[in-house]
Structure 1
């Protein structure tokens, strides 16, 4: 899109918590975006969930809190339909003064993983299914959303209910229009198990574009909902009695000729598929922090509550953490079902795709596929609390094969500070921190 008719525009990069950090700028600055004139402190991408600097961070001592250079990604500019004024967003990435990528930039972390696929002549194709919940945040406590038709508070889940979609048709119709304007290819919408909960599937496409879409889509949902007298959240567990919000990622890998390397012409898939699954399973416990990055995330990580917590895989089994869907062999793919809706899309994509590539490199075997429900079986589990997840992520031997050591350090320090910060807030008040952020 052109920004000729806009007085101002925004630039933003993604911090470790998936937040947009950036500036509003006059339109006259747009022509110089590629001239390394946009600068922000490197540390701004590694702040905590409340936007505070990390105390005693080595990053500050290493750089003296120096500025980094912001450069446009291949994505922007995109409109922001939820704003009253028309001002596009140009997504950016952070670089050091010498032009090397900043290790604390989450999008660069995914780029490093995808470059390793590219070196093999491969391209990753990915898509996400995102669950979110419409809520009423107008009072002292978070409450279920009201039915727009009669203003009565909703009190029951409506799995695959067309009636519930009818109730929120103006919002959902505006959402599809906004997605089209932003270049986000939204596919199907379903009503899910939680009260006021929906799932929207985004289109399969090149993995970086899919991650970009997911990041932008989350901001769109949260911003647009306020135009319809409610709020929207991707919190992993907005209500303890309801199903939580997840983010399922589907991916396959194409070779230089466009052939799916997971496809063996039949229902089981290739050895490469199984090795990729083996890598995902081997890294899953150590990656718990990526898939459950916040205090509220662990309320969702309860066995039997629609959130896969057992480390296992299966064909066509939604209780497993890794599912290989059925259908045409040409579309053979991996569905990674662990992450909450509150994740940073770039870090989540990097963790999943990086683990899969390690599995392929090491020819990791995933073991036999699960039969029956994973909920009632004695299986290895993900970390069940935040502190343990941080410790596992820091110590896991596979993480340095996926992420740069300094990014691992920065994320660990960020989360340890957040553990202290959120520990000083009553759990019933956590939603006030997370509602509009995750």
Structure 2
């Protein structure tokens, strides 16, 4: 009996045979694409009869094929076989009827992996750690906004009624949204997503979820991806909308994705821990993520809107710097001793592809552990000089990524090229559109 069959039997024992299984494939943009499989047709997996076009891994953000990728119709748009990620099989509490969902990967006939898989890229980084007898432990945090339902896609978001502009840790805000937030928590429990604390964040209608730390890094990335789907679906049931867009409001804080990361050895000992001060391995890891941050910014800030977070005094770090327990730094060190010794990477927006962002952060750490670059002075050291800020230009960030050796090392030459190609296509389609403010300011007076 296959792993999927065992998992499916366990599901049906608890819930019965589902009406359908929603099969979900994560594309380069972190968008879930896929198909519905009738619950009585799961035997198709063993036969390789559940398929999607291989190009499904790499459309642009609009869902369009991009000819320059050499995928899609220019290559005949061949199919790949869908492979179940069995541990992700779970009920869909917000759906009507008995509905299950499951993440899938896709491979070509005769292959057991696919270089186009974001999840596969993260797995390769983890294998590099394992080859050194080292195993990352992670915990992510995700911020999102809830806002009133809009009439059209062109409408700007509006916070829920009676929401203060600054709601940071406001318990009354949690009380007002109790029905939505408790349903989110219940759905997470039903799907086995390991959520921890939930808070009202600073912006109006903004919330943050923390996930439990885990050594199952792939599952942690799965969880971040699935949580975004869950939140949008649950909030919609209440006549509202939710978004993980990096900067939905110009005047309020953006949405971030923070990753807390430590590393343990084969015996479970935290290799970042030191009896006195900051240990050498932790220093090297921090230096690694700082020295690679600009090269990998196009992963941490994938879209045009992502760069609106990188503004002074915007609650988002804007430069590759670090400090002990300092939330203004891009890399914060909450603890240096014991099991909790770790770094917190605070650059990513909540709009990232979690697999690629995790891979970039862990790949940067590994680069530092292997090459031992010099660690700059802490942000709060009086002798420290300001770090060169990260760029505000989307195209420059993509060009830097495309030319980067570390991007090739982490993602592979083929995927790094694909990533840059799709980002440049997105740039060409998005930045050439005239905006409403250009009409308001220029059209009538120039």
Match of 1:352 among 357, 361, 375: 361
Equivalence for 1:223: 233
Q: Which has the higher contact order (CA 8 A, sep 6+)?
A: 1
Match of 1:409 among 417, 432, 441: 417
Distance 1:81 1:379, change over 3 A: same
Match of 2:134 among 122, 134, 146: 122
Q: What is the rounded CA distance, in whole Å, between the counterparts of 2:256 and 2:339 in structure 1?
A: 26
Match of 2:117 among 98, 105, 108: 105
| Displacement of 1:34 | 4.0
3-state secondary structure, aligned to 1:70: strand
Root-mean-square deviation (Å)? 2.1
Distance 1:231 1:372, change over 3 A: farther
Query: Given that residues 142 and 257 in structure 2 are in contact (C-alpha distance below 8 angstroms), is that contact kept between their aligned partners in structure 1?
Result: yes
TM-score, scaled to structure 2 = 0.90
3-state secondary structure, aligned to 1:398: helix
Distance 1:372 1:78, change over 3 A: farther
Match of 1:419 among 388, 403, 427: 427
3-state secondary structure, aligned to 2:308: helix
| Displacement of 1:143 | 2.9
Distance 1:256 1:428, change over 3 A: farther
3-state secondary structure, aligned to 2:335: coil
Match of 2:281 among 237, 262, 272: 272
Aligned length: 422
TM superposition outliers: structure 1 runs of 4+ over 6 Å: none
Equivalence for 1:15: 27
For residues 44-55 of structure 1, the aligned pairs below 5 Å read: 44-55=56-67
Match of 1:71 among 67, 80, 83: 83
Instruction: Output one character per residue of 1:224-264: Cα deviation in whole Å (capped at 9) or x when no partner.
Output: 10111210100111010111000100111111001001011
1:380 aligns with 2:388: yes
Query: Given that residues 52 and 81 in structure 2 are in contact (C-alpha distance below 8 angstroms), is that contact kept between their aligned partners in structure 1?
Result: yes
**Structure 2: gaps of 5 or more residues:** 1-9, 438-446
Match of 1:247 among 254, 257, 260: 257
Q: What is the rounded CA distance, in whole Å, between the counterparts of 1:367 and 1:327 in structure 2?
A: 17
Instruction: Output one character per residue of 1:134-167: Cα deviation in whole Å (capped at 9) or x when no partner.
Output: 01242352232323xxxx5x35221110010011
Greater radius of gyration (CA): 2
Equivalence for 1:434: none
Query: Given that residues 77 and 88 in structure 1 are in contact (C-alpha distance below 8 angstroms), is that contact kept between their aligned partners in structure 2?
Result: yes
1:302 aligns with 2:311: yes
Equivalence for 1:436: none
Equivalence for 1:236: 246
Query: Given that residues 16 and 411 in structure 1 are in contact (C-alpha distance below 8 angstroms), is that contact kept between their aligned partners in structure 2?
Result: yes
Query: Given that residues 122 and 355 in structure 2 are in contact (C-alpha distance below 8 angstroms), is that contact kept between their aligned partners in structure 1?
Result: yes
For residues 60-99 of structure 1, the aligned pairs below 5 Å read: 60=72, 64-99=76-111
Distance 1:81 1:204, change over 3 A: same
Distance 1:350 1:187, change over 3 A: same
Which segment is superposed worse, 42-51 or 71-80? 71-80
Which segment is superposed worse, 67-76 or 305-314? 67-76
Query: Given that residues 325 and 334 in structure 1 are in contact (C-alpha distance below 8 angstroms), is that contact kept between their aligned partners in structure 2?
Result: yes
1:143 aligns with 2:157: yes
Query: Given that residues 42 and 68 in structure 1 are in contact (C-alpha distance below 8 angstroms), is that contact kept between their aligned partners in structure 2?
Result: yes
Query: Given that residues 34 and 71 in structure 1 are in contact (C-alpha distance below 8 angstroms), is that contact kept between their aligned partners in structure 2?
Result: no
Q: What is the rounded CA distance, in whole Å, between the counterparts of 1:35 and 1:361 in structure 2?
A: 43
Equivalence for 1:335: 344
Equivalence for 1:174: 183
**Structure 1: gaps of 5 or more residues:** 430-438
Query: Given that residues 68 and 421 in structure 2 are in contact (C-alpha distance below 8 angstroms), is that contact kept between their aligned partners in structure 1?
Result: no
Distance 1:337 1:98, change over 3 A: same
